[in-house]
Amino acid sequence: MERYICKAADTIRSKVVALVRRRGLSKSLLAAIVVIVVIIVAAAVLMMQGGGGAVKEVKVGVVLPLSGKLAETGADLKRGLEFAVEEINKAGGIKSLGGAKIVLVFGDSAGKPETGAAEAERLITEEKVVAMLGSYQSAVTKTVSEVCERYHVPMLNPESTSPTLTARGYKWFFRTTPHDEMFAKQHVDFVNWLNKKYGNQIKKIAIIHEDTEWGTATAKAWQKYFSEAGYQIVKVVSYHAATITSMDSEIDTLKAANPDLVLVASYVQDAILFVQTAKQRDFNPKAILAQDAGFINPSYVKQVGKDGFYIFSREVFNWDLGQKIPKLKEVNDRYKAKYGVDLNGNSARDYTGAWVLYYALEEAGKKASPANLEEFRKAIRDALASLNIPGDKLIMPWKGVKFDSNGQNTLGQGIVVQMMDDGKYHTVFPEEFATAEPVFPMPKWSERG
């Protein structure tokens, strides 16, 4: 065997030598080889640098959709994170690590689960990040968190709402935002509250939803929690948002069922269609309660105009919360001065996520040093698991941050907003964050000006 290998090596060598000796090919080939070798060596040397020395900075990896269809959202989320980190570093960095600064290292998922996973691997093993943040879309968060779980890196997810994410029994995954099922439960609380306030006017409920994972899961959760609470579900209608051009038959079906309340899970175009058709067909339930998404989109607000008045929507965040949360007003003023836009549900949740991770880093720094990466990551995980942040330290309308054994924050909650006749959404529920009294029941189409 050895003999053959030696012979083969000899042949290859002689052939290479012959190849190089021949004119023409030799120079360009040699040049190409030299260039390749130089690039590889340079890359290797660059990779080698970085480590060593006292802890001056702690790297945190972030995978977000920075290109593709969601690039705009990704940029928004990125601003929220960067703004929080800037504030943390200005305030003296991580004090338990001698004022070490937090450095965010970004990876672009391009909105694709496989690219997100590869980026997470790069950030974890090449950039040696201590923890991960992100990744917005639930599908990308699924693969990124799987990589983190495998490499034993704590991941904090501030903004994905698929309930399945925290149903996988992962040990290294933590989510600060409430998920879609928690929102559905909160809808029940809100309707109970309305009934108490206005004398049990809501008994019959109809549901209309688009048919992707989000709409379907939301509708299922609604059916479950509302029938458990004793409401009667009189009709459930689904449609395909990407192709729907008319909602006449859907609205007629709903109208025939004569519900007191209609629950809606829609994206933008179908939300507009829903409102316009409801007006055309003179469909007058006592209230319409939407699940965020399309109903809070600026282009929806612009297109439906007056017809959107008095519709309720669940939200994670609203512009008027600053009146009730003083800390939010401060932060938003500074944010607006820097970027020229207000905080919104996405940037505010990521801003909060970065702060929550900072609290955990501060705790972890007391027990371990980033010099021993494995131990430090474990310390961050443990710190996150035992974290208990009161609501007044946050800018979100939450009761605080405390994770259960699945990594879900149990103290998070949404809010319910209603569009008033100034064309803006106002917070009406829960009471401690409310800035306006709800208009209920909503006026009939024929009674409107």
Partner 1 sequence: MLQFIKEGLRDRNGQYFAIVAAVMLVAPLIFWKLDLPFAANAMLLCLMFSIMAMAWNLLEGYTGQLSFGHAVFFGVGAYTTMILMLYYRVTPWVGIFVGGLVAALVGLALGVPLFRLRSHWFALATIAVGEIFKLIFISWDYVGGSAGLQSPIVPEEQKLYYLQYAGSYVYIYLALGLLGLELLIMYPLVKSRIGYYLQAIREDEDAAMSLGINPFKYKMVAMFFSALFTGIGGGIYTVRFRFVDPFAVFDLISVSVYITIAGILGGIYSFIGPIVGSFVFVPISEYVRVYIVSRFPRFYGLHVFVLGVILLAISLLAPEGIMGWLEKKGYLRKREETGEVRKE
Out of 6, 20, 25, 167, which residue is the one contacting partner 1 (CB under 8 A)?
Answer: 25
CB of 119 to partner 1, least distance (A): 8
In this structure, how many other beta carbons lie within 10 angstroms of the beta carbon of residue 101?
Answer: 17
How do 57-64 and 101-108 pair as beta strands?
parallel
Are 275 and 304 in contact by the 8 Å Cβ rule? The answer is yes
Question: Between 217 and 368, whose beta carbon lies closer to partner 1?
Answer: 217
Tell whether residue 134 is a contact of partner 1 (CB under 8 A): no
Q: Which of 149, 307, 362, 363 binds partner 1 (CB under 8 A)?
A: 149
Among positions 87, 146, 362, 375, the unique one binding partner 1 when judged by CB under 8 A? 146
Rule CB under 8 A: say whether 154 interacts with partner 1: no
* Phi, psi angles (nearest 5°) of residue 62: -135, 120
Q: What is the DSSP string of 56-95?
A: -EEEEEEEE--SSTTHHHHHHHHHHHHHHHHHHHHTTSBG
| Choices 100-108, 229-237, 247-255, 376-384; region in contact with partner 1 by CB under 8 A | 100-108
Do residues 316 and 415 touch, judged by C-beta distance below 8 A? yes
How buried is residue 410: exposed, middle or buried, by Cβ count under 10 Å (0-12/13-18/19+)? Answer: middle
Q: Which of 81, 97, 102, 110 lies at the binding interface for partner 1 (CB under 8 A)?
A: 110
- Enumerate residues 37-76 that contact partner 1 by CB under 8 A: 44, 47, 66-67, 71, 74-75
The one among 8, 38, 341, 371 contacting partner 1 by CB under 8 A: 8
Backbone φ and ψ of 220, nearest 5°: -60, -45
Tell which residue, 316, 339, 338, 319, has the closest CA to residue 329.
319
Q: 145 with 174: CB under 8 angstroms?
A: no
Pick the binder of partner 1 from 84, 88, 117, 411 (CB under 8 A): 117
With DSSP H G I counted as helix, E B as strand and the rest as coil, what are the percentages for the chain, rounded to 5?
55, 15, 30
| C-alpha to C-alpha distance for 354 and 360, rounded to whole angstroms | 10
Element housing 313 (H / E)? strand 312-315
Query: Based on CB atoms, which residue is closest to partner 1, 150 or 306?
Result: 150
Closer CB to partner 1, residue 122 or residue 286? Answer: 122
Sign of CA dihedral 192, 198, 199, 205: negative
* Residue positions counted in the chain: 449
| Residue 87 contacts partner 1 per CB under 8 A | no
Closest approach of partner 1 to the CB of residue 28, in Å = 9
Residues in contact with partner 1, counted by CB under 8 A, come to a total of 52
Q: Least distance in Å: CB of 121 to partner 1? A: 4
- Does 108 participate in binding partner 1 (rule CB under 8 A)? yes
Q: By CB under 8 A, is residue 138 in contact with partner 1?
A: yes
The binder of partner 1 chosen from 94, 100, 130, 143 (CB under 8 A): 143
User: Which structure tokens are listed for 32?
Assistant: 């190409």
Q: Which two tokens stand for residue 160?
A: 């994905």
CB atoms within 10 A of CB 429: 23
Strand order in the sheet with 155-157: 101-108, 57-64, 131-134, 155-157, 173-175
Q: Is 12 in the site for partner 1 (CB under 8 A)?
A: yes
Part of the chain binding partner 1 (CB under 8 A), chosen from 122-130, 195-203, 363-371, 397-405: 122-130
Which string of x and - marks every residue 162-181 that binds partner 1 (by CB under 8 A)? x-x---x-------------
Nearest approach, Cβ of residue 66 and partner 1 (Å): 4
86 binds partner 1 (CB under 8 A): no
**Closer residue to partner 1 in complex, CB, 7/334:** 7
Q: Which one-letter amino acid corresponds to residue 185?
A: K
> Residues 208 to 237: which contact partner 1 by CB under 8 A?
211-214, 216-217
**Would you call the peptide bond into 109 cis, given omega within 30 degrees of 0 as the criterion?**
no
Provide the binding-site residues for partner 1, judged by CB under 8 A: 1, 4, 7-8, 11-12, 15, 25, 44, 47, 66-67, 71, 74-75, 78, 105-108, 110, 112-115, 117-119, 121-122, 124-126, 138-139, 142-143, 146-147, 149-151, 162, 164, 168, 211-214, 216-217, 240
